[in-house]
A and B are shown apart, each in its own frame.
Chain A
């Protein structure tokens, strides 16, 4: 199976900060990398698909980049509603795998 490693596992940042989350795949996954946001007791929501394409309705402060094995999710100016846990997920393999998650807290 393809292993997905996210870092950091948690972070605390202030409103307005630029926040970066990284995701590394154990092998080349081209650009088949998706990002989700999950809030407590809720289902995940798709933020970005295919590494850098913003899902409809997602604010433009979110962006994704990368290809191959290294990927980044960036929030350009953190807002209070951006708290939650963020997950990456690869769909290169039919055996889908998720990263371990990054919990974002607002200072």
Chain B
């Protein structure tokens, strides 16, 4: 299993970024996928999960209405569109594979993370 994030970087407050996670080594469609972020002060924070088909999504309250998770199963790729970015969104964002689809899962594979900095 390999998960490789890209698309991180510097964004201004109120700006947008799109993270991408390229997956390989497993039957992508069969598993939910998640985004988890980490800051030095807040530890690990779950951001969002999408079901294997892409039809069901859940978001943390802190990002709901601003972030959108999606997936392209034909490309084995996961996305996180981040809009209306705030300074508190500054974090390392991890893509993680769920152990199953779509409830009661653990995160059994993780990417190396993509750093996002929101600053003017």
Interface, chain A (partner B; CB < 8 A): 1, 32, 34, 36, 38, 42-46, 49-50, 55, 87, 89, 91-92, 94-101
Contact = CB atoms under 8 A, between A and B. Distances in A.
Dominant SS among interface residues on chain A: loop
B103 A91 contact: yes
Interface stretch (B13-21, B69-77, B79-87, B106-114): B106-114
Given A43-B94, A101-B43, A101-B44, A94 B110 contact: no
A94 B106 contact: no
Give the secondary structure class of B's interface. strand
B117 interface: no
Given A43-B113, A89-B44, 17 more contacts: A1-B61, A32-B104, A34-B106, A36-B107, A38-B44, A42-B112, A44-B110, A46-B106, A55-B106, A87-B44, A91-B104, A91-B105, A96-B34, A97-B46, A98-B36, A98-B46, A101-B44
Nearest to B113: A43
20 contacts: A32-B104, A36-B44, A36-B107, A43-B94, A43-B110, A43-B112, A43-B113, A44-B44, A44-B110, A46-B106, A46-B107, A50-B106, A89-B106, A91-B104, A91-B106, A94-B103, A96-B49, A97-B46, A98-B43, A98-B45
Contact of B99 (A45, A49, A99): A49
B58 interface: yes
Interface residues on chain B, size class: 20 to 34
A91 B120 CA distance: 36
Nearest to A53: B106
Interface in B24-48: 34, 36, 43-46
Contacts of A99: 43
B107 to A, nearest CB: 6
A107 to B, nearest CB: 24
